[in-house]
Amino acid sequence: MSSKDSAPTLPPNVTIFAPRSPQAAQNLLQARLFTRLSASASTTRDQLLKASNSHSKLNETFYLSHGNAILIFDGGKEGVELEDAHHEHFRAVCLALKDADIGLDVAKCVHDAEDVLQAGFQIDAMKDGSVLVIDLMHAEADDDDDDDSDEEEGEGDEEVGK
């Protein structure tokens, strides 16, 4: 009854990417090159937002922030041009993080993945033009309590991703 009055709560590894520009959502859905940056565990979401909002070279057409992770995405160009554009966006994001004194957890970063799943995210288009974003790496950290029962399944999943 009162649940109709409140918005549903998403799991901590799920967010809705609803950028101001519809083109930004299309850029994410059509991207072909992805980099995941994972900020240190002590970094808060507010710190990441402040860092990204303080730099004029950053805009939502090529990156999104979720929890303490940033997904940089690019597409539309081919070959070296795509890589150059992606690396320029990577440099802009890293500069913003450096200026905000935000460190990275290098072990959780993924560079130049050709598929969003390889970067640890799943994305799905929604009817309203926004994008459902699931942080798969965050979900893994939450599933530690049932390691024993999923041990064999986890090994099979790793080989599928290779």
Residue by residue, pLDDT tens for the chain (162 residues) are 444 556 679 999 999 999 999 999 999 999 999 999 999 999 998 999 899 888 888 989 999 999 899 999 999 888 899 999 999 999 999 999 999 999 999 999 999 999 999 999 999 999 999 999 999 997 444 444 444 444 444 444 444 443
Total-model pTM: 0.80
Structure tokens at 79: 């070959």
What does the domain layout of the chain look like in residue ranges? Answer: 10-161
Which CATH code for domain 10-161?
A: 3.30.70
Structure tokens at 136: 């798969």
Question: Which one-letter amino acid corresponds to residue 151?
Answer: E
Q: How far apart are CA 34 and CA 75, in angstroms?
A: 9
Q: Which residue has the tokens 């309590």?
A: 145
